[in-house]
Structures are given as C-alpha cells and as structure tokens.
C-alpha cells in the first residue's frame, strides 16, 4: 500500500476512523483463527532476542511478493520486511535469501499481471513464496469477487510450478460494513485451505493502531513495527522451509 491519490486518501480516512472507533485494536481475527479448518500460523514460537544459530545447509530462496508492506514504504535501507525476515531466518540458522518483490501501490490485479514474469526472472525456482497483496484492493474498495479471482489466478500459477505459499492476509475495518467484510475477509482462509497454503490471517495484527509501531500515515509499519511482524512471521516461514 502507498499513497495513490484521492481514492487511496479516502480509504486511509476510513481505515484510520475504524481503528479509532474500535479502540485502536484492529480488525477482529476470530473468524479466521480456526486451525482445524485451515493451516493458520498462530502457534509459532518467536526466536529469542539475541539468539544466533550457525547458518547451515543449502540456500533457501524465498520470494516476498506483495505491495508496499513488503516493499518497505517509508523505511530506511535494510529495514523492509523481506530484509528483516532474511536476518531472522539466518539468525535461526537457515541459509535464507529473501528477494523483495514488493511494489508500492500494487493491487491484486497488478500482482496477477506480474507474477509469472517475476518468477521467470529469478535465478531459480523459489523454495517458498510469501504472497501479500489485498491492502490496496481494500483501500480502493474493489469488489471482493475480483480480489478473490486475482488470488486464484496467482495461486494457480504457483501450484502449477509446485511452489509452496505463505499467505499474509488483509482484513476489513468494521466501518466498511458486514457484507463487504464477510466477503473480503474469507478470501484468505478459503484459499489457504483450497491450496494448502499457510495463513497468517492479518499481516498488521498487533501493529496497526499502535502509534509507536506505525508511520505517521497510520497504515504502514515503521522499523519497530516490521520487527514485531517478523517476530510472528519469521518462525512460520522457518517452519515451512524446514518442512
């Protein structure tokens, strides 16, 4: 996600307003945290602070394919989520190389258009893809059916290439209405189950609404926010790479 004119600005206002109305707690994750129905990433143990395991084994290539939440919007060099994730994986002893394929402003439709090209440009098939789009669809209030269709296309492409996936989801703030939320929020758990992908239900969980962890726009995490996300996501990715 990134600033993309009046439509985006209106979406930011909606999202920020929703967070204020809900006590800055972020969307309710209860509908998607059913680990018996889908492979939900809820029980990973964070890597202890300061721990450092020897890096060993063959290189594990991870493609982080998403929008500005992956690209590192507003952050310094080396502070993006893929950078931080690579550091965390290597601290856990995994010889990981995480390629940042995040583009600020990308919708799921834009991701669908560039996924095959991005995969073909890599030096080899990745061992894992992190798929993190949908935030700009939400901010533009794109019909959930369109977002779902774009994700199906991308997941079909990854399945065809036999590449495992971790989906980092997005969720609707309550002020966009229950009908929109019901359709949008189900995209990620439904498709995770259908495609045997690991699901992190909401990439900004525990971060959005906390001003100490967000940039002034209230939408993108700062470097400390990225650290918080990776503390949750890193062990999930490590588990998929080891599995």
Written as six digits, the tokens of 231 are 């503390």
Residue range 24-49: mean pLDDT, rounded: 42
pLDDT tens string 89-120: 999 999 999 999 999 999 999 999 999 999 99
Long-range contacts of 205-211 (CB under 8 A, 24+ apart): 205/26, 205/29, 205/232, 206/26, 206/232, 208/19, 208/26, 209/19, 209/22, 209/24, 209/25, 209/26, 210/24
For residue 241, is pLDDT > 90?
Answer: yes
Q: For residue 87, is it within any domain?
A: yes
pLDDT for 40: 58
Instruction: Kindly list the catalytic residues.
Output: 68, 217, 220
pLDDT tens string 69-93: 999 999 999 999 999 999 999 999 9
Number of folded domains in the chain?
1
Residue range 151-172: mean pLDDT, rounded: 98
Q: For residue 1, is it within any domain?
A: no
Q: For residue 158, is it within any domain?
A: yes
pLDDT for 56: 86
Structural domain for 13, as ranges: 6-242
Q: For residue 133, is it within any domain?
A: yes
pLDDT for 53: 79
Instruction: Please state, for a pLDDT cut of 90, what percent of the chain lies above it.
Output: 75
Q: For residue 26, is it within any domain?
A: yes
pLDDT tens string 190-218: 999 999 999 999 999 999 999 999 999 99
pTM of this structure: 0.83
Q: For residue 180, is it within any domain?
A: yes
**What is the domain-level CATH number for residue 37?**
3.40.50.1110
Q: For residue 224, is it within any domain?
A: yes
pLDDT for 3: 46
Q: Is 214 helix (H, G, I), strand (E, B) or coil?
A: strand
Mean pLDDT, all residues of the chain: 85
**177 Cβ contact partners less than 8 Å away, ≥ 6 residues apart:** none
Q: CA–CA separation, 159 vs 145, rounded Å?
A: 21
Q: For residue 237, is it within any domain?
A: yes
């Amino acid at each position: 996600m990134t600033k993309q004119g009046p439509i985006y600005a209106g979406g930011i206002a909606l999202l920020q307003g929703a967070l204020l109305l809900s006590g800055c707690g972020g969307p309710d994750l209860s509908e998607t945290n059913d680990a018996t129905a889908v492979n939900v990433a809820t029980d990973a143990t964070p890597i202890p602070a300061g721990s450092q395991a020897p890096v060993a084994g063959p290189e594990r290539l991870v493609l982080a394919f998403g929008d500005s939440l992956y690209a590192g919007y507003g952050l310094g060099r080396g502070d993006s989520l893929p950078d931080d994730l690579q550091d965390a994986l290597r601290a856990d002893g995994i010889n990981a190389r995480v390629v940042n394929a995040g583009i600020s402003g990308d919708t799921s439709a834009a991701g669908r258009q560039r996924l095959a090209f991005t995969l073909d440009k890599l030096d080899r098939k990745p061992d894992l893809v992190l798929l993190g789009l949908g935030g700009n669809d939400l901010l533009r209030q794109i019909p959930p059916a369109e977002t779902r269709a774009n994700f199906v296309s991308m997941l079909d492409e990854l399945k065809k290439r036999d590449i495992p996936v971790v989906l980092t989801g997005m969720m609707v703030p309550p002020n966009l209405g229950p009908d929109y939320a019901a359709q949008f929020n189900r995209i990620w758990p439904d498709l995770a189950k259908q495609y045997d992908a690991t699901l992190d239900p909401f990439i900004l969980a525990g971060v959005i609404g906390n001003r100490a962890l967000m940039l002034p726009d209230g939408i993108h995490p700062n470097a400390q926010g990225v650290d918080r996300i990776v503390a949750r996501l890193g062990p999930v990715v490590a588990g998929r790479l080891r599995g």
